[in-house]
Structure 1
Amino acid sequence: MSANDPGHINNLDQNQRDLLKSYWLALISAINEEPSSVVESALGEELFDAFAHDDPDTILLRWLRARKWQVAPAVEMMMDTLKWRQEWGVRRLLDRGERCVNLEEWSSGKFYHMGKDKVGRPVSYVHAEGHIRGQYPMESTEKCLILFMELGRYFSEVPNEEGTVILDMGNVGLRNLDYQYIKFMINAMQNHYPECLGLSLVVNAPWSFSTVWSVIRRWLDPVVESKIRFVKNTDELKDYINPDVIPKRLQGNHADFKYIPVTKDDEVRLATIHDDEQGKRQAQMEHRQAAKTYLDTTLKWAKTRSGDEKSEEHERKKAADRLCTTYQQLMPYISTETHYHRTGMISRSMFNAAYDRISNQQQQTSST
């Protein structure tokens, strides 16, 4: 699905617009009874960090669609997600990146992002044989998965809002079967990253997998289950994905995943950025102010009678653009580069701009 499909940001009917307004009002109230205090509250900060560089409406609509446009369940679901993000320290995980996970596991190639499918959705590959039950502490594996899913958000390009997951079951045995891990993955995807899956293709499944599948499918939301398809062989993958972005281990033409480690120069650049406390405070202040402005315009829009909100929608669009811009300026201070930045799959432009600005300031200071 894309931003142009029914029920998505660019294609809402009047009833859906009204429900989105009601959702905003109810969510703001659930976070803090005093709207002016939402942005600076713990859950409010978590909410705007979760929006990241995306349009907030695009994010919230995922939760509304996941709960069949029922406002109260959607609010409860979002509140659970904000608390879950707090408990897992998602902001710290993004801040420290690969330094916060087991690098051996992260670089193993058992899951990675690579290319796009034929309809433009980013593709993630999961090779089940790479996961060995008990090889690493479960918390370590779960942290890797959360970082993997958070980074996956950077690969979607408007109008696409979903991704494709290739689950390779080749050479899987009992040592790879880990129901605790599978259940965590399903819970995270369905409840905390809803409506992000467009398609999942299961390839190389052995005949014995039918027993495992009978257990797993009970944990799946019917909508999620409907997006999972079993393909007979790797050749059938080519009906969905160009061979040039299928790894060689699945009989494609793309080089297999190979982790690119951080260099000394990378470490120096990131240290320079993260040591810029004044720049970080300024970026945080500007983003916080942008969040307050966005929230104020959203409240005004949500309380305006349907059909009379054209002026409010215009101001809200400007506020959303400003929110995105200030987050991108803040991002180098609160996140870090990863393998996907070093390979060019995620742009390094904001990190480069921050480093160049700080370096120029330091040179000017030293010359005076």
Structure 2
Amino acid sequence: MTAATTNGAAPLPGRVDTLTDKENEGLKKTWLRLIEVFQQKGVEWVPPVKVEEVKEVKKSRWGFGGKKESTENKDLFLGATANPEWLSLPLEKALPLIPGEALGITFWNMVAGDNPDAVVLRFLRARKWDLDAGFNMLMNCLRWRIVMRVDDITALGETGIRNELETLKPGMGESFIKNLHSNKSVLGGPDKEGRGISYINVRFHKKEDQDFEVIKLMTLYVMETSRMIVHQPVESSCIVFNLEGFTLANMDFEFVKFLLNCFEAYYPETLGSCLIHKAPWVFSTVWTMITPLLDPVVASKIHFTKNLDELAGFVDMNVLPPFLTGTEEIKVNNDKFPCPPAGTLDRKKTPEYQDYEDMIREYLHETHAWAKTDLPAKDTKRKQQALHYRHASIKAANYLRARTSYHDEGLADLENGRLLLKFCGRVPTIDITDCV
């Protein structure tokens, strides 16, 4: 089914509707491997008993001192509920250790109501249809999601994350909320390809103002929140780095490397365009250090815009937020922050959630049968199955993800069982419920 936000361009290759016979066969083989992995037992892992962490021993001015390592920079939330070997070991050794049920749960949370075939295809395209490499990339992503607690981030929501962080380190939760609502990152859109946009106002960021874990959590939270507006055929997003007012004090290489790694390894084929707006001359020095880090595919999607006219070549002027058009000054938000209800990690077995789980089982059963036929992914029955899954995930959305401030601001929302994409009133509302 065609989304209303498409710009009318010809369908891209390697998508559900444009697969060659060989690509359809590769998709089916990958699904059969996935289904098998989801059934593996894995090795039971019990979190170790928590002990009081050793405080950092004061070092001498030359960096010598006690033998105990500092715990200051260790993540407290991320990685706290999974066997660290699941991520640290080579994939071929780590994968058999992970329960298939956990891999399956995080896979479907990653799909998030999208056409499941489209999600699998992103990994195959990213590895140029090398089926082993594409499958390994997908498995590497799933184990990363489990260790990084991506599903917990989505389920808890901003208020739930704040509460969890406060129990781990007083002040850390408030730091997360302050960063989230600091206008460092603002979701909006659409661009001229119908994609959602994340505006990054770099001048509001200074590395030393918060723990790096807070920035990683914020990044994952925003990326996963933006997944709620994904609909076929619009699979990717746009990022606008607004460098107005940028100085070297705003540069954070750790964040840049983390973000690039996310897009290249864990969210493949989801970056549609990256616009670097109003880069000052001092940024040229920074850019020479960033360029070697860029994957060629990512690099090809980066464009520099010097002024509004050039930016309007990618995003319609009436869609741009007022802080970019100059009609309103953007400041660090020091007002009272919104506080949507906290989510929970205890998913209740409501009828909607039970229907969602039943639909996943049905989809996998039908997929196993479909993979042994010569029917393509664009087959009407196959797409109808994806639509049934999407409807079930939309009905269960309140039990899969916590409500966010972006719902309240009008980015997208559920109304009468329909998923409506509103883009905060900048374009007419679009019903994306049936877009698979």
TM-based fold match above 0.5: yes
CA distance in 1: counterparts of 2:17 and 2:336, whole angstroms: 38
| Matching residue within 350, 354, 360 for 1:291 | 360
Q: Which residue of 1 aligns with 2:85?
A: none
Q: Which moved more, 1:219-228 or 1:40-49?
A: 40-49
Q: What percent of counterpart residues are identical?
A: 31
Secondary structure at the counterpart of residue 396 of structure 2: helix
Does 1:15 find its partner at 2:18? Answer: no
- Give the TM-score, by structure 2 length: 0.71
Q: CA deviation at 1:319?
A: 2.8
More helix by share: 1
CA distance in 1, matches of 2:131, 2:280: 42
Mean alpha-carbon deviation: is it higher for 322-331 or for 289-298? 322-331
1:82-161 correspondence to structure 2 within 5 Å: 82-99=142-159, 100-101=161-162, 102-161=176-235
Q: After superposition, what is the alpha-carbon deviation per residue over 1:180-221, rounded to whole angstroms, capped at 9, x for unaligned? A: 111001111111111111111111112232232222222221
In structure 2, the CA distance between the partners of 1:209 and 1:276, relative to structure 1 (3 Å rule), is closer
Shift of 1:3: 9.0
Q: Work out whether 1:342 is the aligned partner of 2:391.
A: no
- Report the CA distance shift for 1:317/1:242 in structure 2 as closer, same or farther (over 3 A): closer
1:51 aligns to 2:120 (yes or no): no
Distance 1:14 1:157, change over 3 A: same
Taking a change above 3 Å as real, the CA distance of residues 22 and 349 of structure 1, as seen in their structure-2 partners, is: same
* Aligned residue among 235, 253, 270 for 2:309: 235
CA drift of 1:64 comes to: 0.8
1:119, CA displacement in angstroms?
A: 2.7
Residue in 2 that maps onto 1:195: 269
**1:366 corresponds to which residue?**
none
State how far apart, in whole Å, the 1-side matches of 2:252 and 2:377 are: 53
Is this contact kept in 1: 2:112–2:228, CA < 8 A? no
> Over aligned residues, Cα RMSD in angstroms?
3.1
Aligned to 2:167: none
Question: Secondary structure of 1:46's partner?
Answer: helix
The residue that corresponds to 1:245 in the other structure is 319
Is 1:326 aligned to 2:392, yes or no? yes
Gaps of 5+ in 1: 354-368
Aligned partner of 1:24 in structure 2 is 31
Task: Using structure 1 for the length normalisation, give the TM-score.
Answer: 0.83
What secondary structure sits across from 2:412 in the alignment?
coil
Q: In 1, are the aligned partners of 2:323 and 2:330 still within 8 Å (CA)?
A: yes
CA gap 1:174/1:254 in 2 versus in 1, 3 angstroms: closer
How many Å separate the matches in 1 of 2:376 and 2:382?
A: 10
Deviations 1:246-281 (A, max 9, x none): 223322558859789446xx64xx78xx79976x34
Q: Following TM superposition, by how much is the alpha carbon of 1:33 offset from its aligned partner in structure 2, in angstroms?
A: 4.9
Q: Which moved more, 1:159-168 or 1:141-150?
A: 159-168
Contact 1:166 1:203 in 2 (8 A): yes
Q: Name the amino acid aligned to 1:303.
A: K
- SS of the residue 1:97 aligns to: helix
Q: 1:212 and 1:291 mapped to 2: Cα distance?
A: 46
- The one-letter code sitting in structure 1 at the alignment partner of 2:14 is G
Hey, what does 1:356 align to over in structure 2?
none
Q: Which runs of 5+ in 2 are unaligned?
A: 1-5, 42-97, 163-175, 420-436
Give the Å deviation of 1:313: 4.5
Q: Distance in 2 between matches of 1:248 and 1:322?
A: 39
Note the C-alpha offset of 1:321. Answer: 2.1
Q: Does the CA-based 8 Å contact 1:114-1:124 persist in structure 2? A: yes
8 Å contact 1:62–1:195 — kept in the other structure?
A: yes
> 2:350, 2:362 → 1: CA distance?
18
1:299 CA drift (Å): 1.2
Q: Secondary structure at the match of 2:241?
A: strand
C-alpha contact (below 8 Å) 1:127/1:167 kept by paired residues: yes
Provide, for residues 82-129 of structure 1, a one-character-per-residue CA deviation record: whole Å limited to 9, x for no partner: 111111111211111111151100000011111211232222111111
1:352: Cα distance to partner?
A: 10
Aligned length: 340
